[in-house]
Amino acid sequence: MVDTARTMTDGTTADGAPAPIEAPADSSAVRVDTEALGRQLLGTWADARLASRKLAGRPEMQRIEGQSKEEHRERVFGQLKLLVENGQVLRAFPSAQGGQDDHGGNIAGFEELVSADPSLQIKSGVQWGLFAAAILHLGTEYHHEAFLPGAMNLDVPGAFAMTEIGHGSDVASVATTATYDEATQEFVINTPFRAAWKEFLGNAAVHGTAATVFAQLITKGVNHGVHALYVPIRDENGEFLPGVGGEDDGLKGGLNGIDNGRLHFSNVRVPRVNLLNRYGDVAEDGTYTSPIASPGRRFFTMLGTLVQGRVSLDGAATAASAMGLAIAITYGSQRRQFTAGSDTDEEVILDYQRHQRRLLPLLATTYAATFAHDEFLVKFDSVFSGTADSDADREDLETLAAALKPLSTWHALDTLQEAREACGGAGFMASNRLVGLRADLDVFVTFEGDNNVLLQLVAKRLLTDYSKKFAKADPAALARLVASQAADRAYHGSGLRSLAQTVADFGSTARSVDHLRDENSQRELLTDRVETMIAGVAGALREARHMSKADAAAAFNAQQNELIEAARAHGELLQWEAFTRALDKWDESTDPGTTQVLTWLRDLFGLGLIEKHAAWYLINGRLSPQRAQSLTAYIDRLLTRIRPHAVDLVNAFGYGPEHLRAPIASGIEQERQDEARAYYAEQRASGTAPLDEKVLAKQAAKAAKAAAAASVPKKQGKPSSKPGRPTATAAAK
């Protein structure tokens, strides 16, 4: 894509050792078009994002650090009302209810609220993305008319009562029951034991007056699995209705603007029509019917309508990563610490290799996640708008959500933490935002599907696809396949993805990093790893179908870690591909600078993944030791090339001071540094600086040495005892 990058000197010498890294004289000569890049980063629903960012930039929508949880909860509830006034929340709903049927734009807008206050974003998600969305997607016309208006305009704040204390990610096992009583044509809702209390529900502690309650639907003595019912829970005075009880979850690690709480039900009766009956209904006489015959597929379909939570977490987490990096990289480009190459000026900390190593790969990953998220949102929109909503589309969307949400939410925590550490003590101050964002986003990795559980879901899908592919093969071919795999580990299987080209044995043919810089090599290495890992697990499990249930479970469990790592590798590949497709949209002839810098950044992402998993590539013969080593040297070089563009790359995210609101990213550090340097420069110029005892001592020592040298013959070529002149106190000089 960018010839300059390819034709530069190889990262290794002939013997494979890293060559000395020259300063990248040309890398700062190119320019990034931050405006055009910014437009690309905003993605398909740029207008919705910009409108939401404008709203998020208003002080009344923003978090006030240090509020008590009670104050914070009330503030956020008030902000939700502002959202209603603004009309923003209606976007996803049907035109019949005054909405715009704009699913992608709706999510894009919600995500951007994270810059105002993650509690605002998540409480909005509870009200409109879960409570109201359950009414919309699981209910039918009656519910849309009876319940949706109140949910939409916040007259009825609602809880989404799915999770129980005893069952988080395992929704199918919730223990709350909704038993149909033919005599009264009511459902009777019960919490059979303590573990079945509904738990962690936003709006449950204070504000909610109704809930969509997920319960095992029992009629005529048969349990038809989990269904949702609309259940009023509080009266107009905020008191629990008869049979309903609950508790406040109290203080949490973050998101304290949301009133999470617990609910339980004792013989709470609701009319038959309160069953959200799109995917399963009970007639007056208690007869159960469903448009989906298979209970498993019905459950999957019902839960699938709620995928938007995962979509928006993916986007909000990535936005928070971008903000964290904007703060840390701005600060790192102004902050100076320790003199190294100069007698007077301290170094800008982003010029230190370690600092680059800490932040720039995270920047590359944030770009990848941003591009991947936009593709994900397009997929979501096509399913929910009905333009492409086959079962296969829905399954692909689910798998995409399960692959991307874990990666981006973990990435956000890693990024915000590294950003906070990279800003030192200043990063720990609440005013600089990093600790608060991290605390609020912490729960993103376990809610809306625990990340590990989601990745296991992805892995199972990859295994299913793999097995489907070979279902058509005859047994002898399958046996040969397994044998060849064990023998040379060079077989390249197929998972969800497949490749047109055969992957070569890189280990034995490689001579330089050229190959690694090549886009196709990166793709092949990343794809190959997913496929080989899945094929390996499939091989290890091929006897499991003959086993007892307990033995098969044990065999599966012995592969669990590998499976989850394979799913992660799959997600990383999806991010890399999205980045590469985004890169393809740039034209080197019209914008060589941006194309070049983005190519470096994509390479940093791709090669960073390969470096992270280098042991796997080495063990499996995909990389030779020389190449793996030159990989690290080349990444070091990419860091120095990207360094001059780091500030442009975070500015392109487009977050203004009204979003970042971190004093250390406001230019204040630059002012302080300039003031300090001017002070010392003036002292030196005016001769008012005190003499330095250290300098005086060195001068004295030098004079003494010169006197001694004049009287003693010089020794020949004595080796230095101090490479790099290190001393134990050098770092504290």
Which residue type is seen at 684? R
Alpha carbons 491 and 480: distance in angstroms, whole number: 11
**Measured from the CB atom, is 142 or 193 closer to a copy of itself?**
193
Q: Is 111 a catalytic residue?
A: no
Q: Is 721 in the site for a copy of itself (CB under 8 A)?
A: yes
> Of 628-657, which residues contact a copy of itself (CB under 8 A)?
628-629, 636
By CB under 8 A, tell whether 66 contacts a copy of itself: yes
Crossing angle (nearest 10°) for helices 560-584 and 592-612: 170
Maximum CA extent, the chain? 116
Nearer to a copy of itself, 9 or 557 (CB): 557
Asked if residue 490 lies in contact with residue 505, where contact means CB atoms within 8 angstroms, the answer is yes
Letter string b/e over residues 704-733, b meaning 16 or more CB atoms within 10 A of that residue's CB? eeeeeeeeeeeeeeeeeeeeeeeeeeeeee
In whole angstroms, what is the distance from residue 708 CA to residue 710 CA? 5
Among 1, 5, 36, 165, the residue binding a copy of itself under the rule CB under 8 A is: 165
- Contact string 25-44 vs a copy of itself (x = CB under 8 A): --------------------
Binding span for a copy of itself by CB under 8 A among 102-110, 114-122, 147-155, 343-351: 343-351
The verdict on 150 binding a copy of itself (CB under 8 A) reads no
Give me 664's structure tokens: 């250390």
Q: Is 224 in the site for a copy of itself (CB under 8 A)?
A: yes
Stretch that binds a copy of itself, among 149-157, 188-196, 206-214, 359-367 (CB under 8 A): 188-196
Under rule CB under 8 A, residue 294 binds a copy of itself = yes
CA dist., res. 40 & res. 36, Å (int): 6
Scanning residues 438 to 457, which ones bind a copy of itself (CB under 8 A)?
438-439, 442-443, 445-447, 450-454, 456-457
- Residue 460 within binding range of a copy of itself, rule CB under 8 A: yes
Alpha helices, H only, 541-559: 549-557
Please give the C-alpha separations between residue 442 and each of 305, 450, 702, in angstroms, as whole numbers.
Answer: 25, 12, 57
Contacting a copy of itself (CB under 8 A), which of 1, 8, 348, 544?
Answer: 544
Point out which span in 32-40, 41-49, 227-235, 615-623 binds a copy of itself (CB under 8 A). Answer: 615-623
10 binds a copy of itself (CB under 8 A): no
Residue of 471, 706, 707, 712 that binds a copy of itself (CB under 8 A): 471
Binding status of residue 24 toward a copy of itself by CB under 8 A: no
- 49 versus 613: smaller Cβ distance to a copy of itself: 613
Start-to-end C-alpha separation, the chain? 45
Q: Does 732 bind a copy of itself (CB under 8 A)?
A: yes
Q: Applying CB under 8 A, does 65 fall inside the site for a copy of itself?
A: yes
Of 370, 532, 559, 580, the residue at the interface with a copy of itself (CB under 8 A) is 559
Query: What is the three-class DSSP state of 335?
Result: coil
Residues 495 and 531 sit within 8 Å (Cβ to Cβ): yes
Q: Are 563 and 453 in contact (CB under 8 A)?
A: no
Site for a copy of itself in 231-250 (CB under 8 A): 249-250
The residues near 265 (Cβ < 8 Å, ≥ 6 apart) are 176, 189, 190, 191, 213, 231, 243, 244, 245
Sorted by sequence, the CB contacts under 8 Å of residue 389 that are 6+ apart come out as 382, 383
Select from 122-130, 181-189, 305-313, 542-550 the region that touches a copy of itself (CB under 8 A). Answer: 542-550
CA geometry: angle 342, 346, 352, nearest 5 deg: 95
Report, in Å, the least distance between residue 541 CB and a copy of itself.
Answer: 4
Is the CB of 380 or the CB of 579 nearer to a copy of itself? Answer: 380
* Binding range to a copy of itself, per CB under 8 A, among 63-71, 263-271, 365-373, 380-388: 63-71
> 695 is written with which tokens?
């300098």
Lookup: tokens for 233: 């829970």
436 forms part of the interface with a copy of itself (CB under 8 A): yes
8 contact partners, CB below 8 Å, separation of at least 6: none
Stretch that binds a copy of itself, among 87-95, 117-125, 555-563, 600-608 (CB under 8 A): 555-563
Which of the ranges 52-60, 129-137, 345-353, 703-711 carries the binding residues for a copy of itself, by CB under 8 A? 345-353
- Which lies closer to a copy of itself via its Cβ, residue 54 or residue 468? 468
Rule CB under 8 A: choose which of 555, 592, 593, 658 binds a copy of itself. Answer: 555
Region of 687 please: left (phi>0), alpha (psi -120 to 50) or beta.
left
- Give one word for 200, left, alpha or beta, with left for phi > 0 and alpha for psi -120 to 50: left
Measured from the CB atom, is 361 or 654 closer to a copy of itself? 361
Alpha carbon dihedral 600, 605, 609, 611, in 10-degree steps, equals 40
68 counts as binding a copy of itself under rule CB under 8 A: yes
Beta carbons of 91 and 111 less than 8 angstroms apart: no
- Nearest approach in angstroms of CB 334 to a copy of itself is 11
Q: How far is the CB of 99 from a copy of itself (least distance, A)?
A: 29
Nearer to a copy of itself (CB atom), residue 96 or residue 554: 554
Query: Does 413 participate in binding a copy of itself (rule CB under 8 A)?
Result: yes
Burial label for 250, CB within 10 Å (0-12, 13-18, 19+), is exposed
| Chosen residue from 1, 5, 8, 21 binding a copy of itself by CB under 8 A | 21
Q: Which of 285, 421, 505, 587 binds a copy of itself (CB under 8 A)?
A: 421
Helix (H/G/I), strand (E/B), else coil: 271: strand
CB 463 within 8 A of CB 513: no
According to CB under 8 A, which one of 691, 707, 708, 710 is a site residue for a copy of itself?
691
Closer CB to a copy of itself, 371 or 447, in the complex: 447
- Residue partners of 649: CB distance under 8 A and separation at least 6: 32, 37, 329, 363, 367, 597, 601, 642
Beta strands 158-161 and 210-219 are parallel
- In the bound state with a copy of itself, the residue whose beta carbon lies nearer, of 583 and 631, is 631
The only residue of 207, 420, 492, 523 in contact with a copy of itself, by rule CB under 8 A: 420
667 near a copy of itself, judged by CB under 8 A = no
Fill in the per-residue mask, 254 to 293: x = in contact with a copy of itself (CB under 8 A), - = not in contact.
x---------------------------------x----x
Q: Does 703 bind a copy of itself (CB under 8 A)?
A: no
Given 235, 585, 692, 703, the residue binding a copy of itself (CB under 8 A): 692
Q: Considering the rule CB under 8 A, would residue 172 count as an interface residue with a copy of itself? A: yes
d(CA 36, CA 426): 32
How would you class 520 by CB atoms within 10 Å of its CB: exposed for 0-12, middle for 13-18, buried for 19 or more? exposed
Near a copy of itself in 351-410, by CB under 8 A:
351-354, 357-358, 395, 398-399
Looking at the Cβ atoms of 211 and 439, the one nearer to a copy of itself is: 439
Sign of the dihedral defined by the CA atoms of residues 604, 605, 611, 617, in that order: negative
Round to whole Å and give the CA distance between 195 and 701.
76
According to DSSP, the β-strands at 198-201 and 261-265 are antiparallel
Q: Exactly one of 111, 448, 524, 577 is catalytic; name it.
A: 448
CB of 486 to a copy of itself, least distance (A): 6
Q: Name the residues annotated as catalytic.
A: 448
